[in-house]
Structure 1
């Protein structure tokens, strides 16, 4: 997979799939994951798109520079990647931290994007949310990402899915626990400053919010409020799904993508 060197010297791991000349879609991952989290969507998306995936700084095979990584920095990374690949305009699919990155892009770079799918990510950081990140930082500082792997699995994937899919569950766990602790913490520090809710009324790109019905991190009531704050936005709730419905319930997630993106 090609690495792209950014203006600050950081190299990000990327992957491109799909036919040359097709319209672009950019996929953006959650905290504690790498670009393989989208494997279940690639067959669908490449039927229409040229697909750019990337590992956030501090994640996967990307570099791990000193933190914290602000959301402004994560947003800027995307624009530099798009410029590198000659992408003037793209659709967007982001989940969790990738959805938060997408909100920043919709607010500050609306001319670069068409339709946006923002899944399982909140738009603000109330005190309880900030305290959760402080706790997570303390745990990872002490025990690495291995120390949060099981708890993260419990948030991401429903118990019945984990029981029915032990090999896939083990692969997801390995992805979480292999994330560099310094990169993980640097992103947590940036997410504590999340403050996009007040700006959602200015968004003018078409947005679909997707939420796992059993998501505890970005629950349905929070995402419904975000939908109400975003002009013209749509909302789809995935039944029996946790925080990562594209893995937990891929058929329902892909159906929502297909309808909104006209795939």
Structure 2
């Protein structure tokens, strides 16, 4: 395993990719409750063209889980610190759900570090504080495992779950082993983040993706995000929340075409 220390925090990361030292970087940021394995369906294709950096958000996966609550500023600073630790000046960025929220903040506040941006299944305001406070409380009092069934029902359609039981089991296993406090503290970061006034500051070429049946982030909210970013492209898949897994071929192809397209 590879770890970087950012302001005393140990962040777990993986690098896959093109052997050329001049290949562009692509950073992948995961959903709440997922770790670096969430991106497994994309790695072969992405790493053939990019040096791919994926990481576990603080509190999740194999990264440290310091006491919370966390903030969106901390989460973005973690990414910037990781880039600095690996001497990466600029990169493409692809984030899904909470990873997309981090991407919005990075693109709006630190656009000089980003080339192109993919924001999937996210919005500038994700839900309401009371929803996230309730989820954080459940994680602390009953454990993250108590949230697994409801979460996976939002992530995948029932048809996909029935068709791909091994994928579902692996995803559930990663989720169930999240640190209770780390998960709860990330819930609080999401609940406190409101980036609606900052979206207009994004200048990087942006692709916004959603699932037509996404119950976690309503497609109309994701469309509003796209409409607030000058020149953003908007694409919908026939999926729920984790389209990078449920519609992995479509997701991968769409992202690669965007990242490799003309300026």
- Aligned counterparts, 1:1-263, within 5 A: 1-7=1-7, 9-18=8-17, 19-21=19-21, 22-125=23-126, 129-239=128-238, 241-262=239-260
Distance 1:51 1:13 in 2: 14
Q: Is the 8 A contact 1:16 1:52 kept in 2?
A: yes
Instruction: Tell me by how many angstroms 1:138 deviates.
Output: 2.2
Q: Is the 8 A contact 2:210 2:237 kept in 1?
A: yes
Q: Is the 8 A contact 1:3 1:13 kept in 2?
A: yes
* SS, match of residue 198 in structure 2: helix
Distance 2:148 2:20 in 1: 37
Unaligned residue ranges in structure 2 (runs of 5+): none
Distance 1:232 1:45 in 2: 24
Q: Is the 8 A contact 1:23 1:50 kept in 2?
A: yes
Distance 1:130 1:107 in 2: 22
What TM-score, normalized to structure 2? 0.96
Q: Is the 8 A contact 1:68 1:190 kept in 2?
A: yes
* RMSD of aligned alpha carbons: 1.1
Instruction: Tell me by how many angstroms 1:134 deviates.
Output: 1.8
Instruction: Tell me by how many angstroms 1:20 deviates.
Output: 4.3
* SS, match of residue 4 in structure 1: strand
Unaligned residue ranges in structure 1 (runs of 5+): none
Q: Is the 8 A contact 1:125 1:193 kept in 2?
A: no
Instruction: Tell me by how many angstroms 1:149 deviates.
Output: 0.4
Instruction: Tell me by how many angstroms 1:169 deviates.
Output: 0.4
Q: Is the 8 A contact 1:161 1:248 kept in 2?
A: yes
After superposing on structure 2, the runs of 4+ consecutive aligned residues of structure 1 that deviate more than 6 Å are none
Instruction: Tell me by how many angstroms 1:125 deviates.
Output: 4.7
Residues 47 and 125 of structure 1: CA distance in aligned 2, closer, same or farther (over 3 Å):
closer
What TM-score, normalized to structure 1? 0.96
Equivalences, count: 259
Distance 1:101 1:231 in 2: 19
Instruction: Tell me by how many angstroms 1:42 deviates.
Output: 0.6
Distance 1:35 1:247 in 2: 13
Distance 1:146 1:125 in 2: 22
Distance 2:126 2:64 in 1: 27
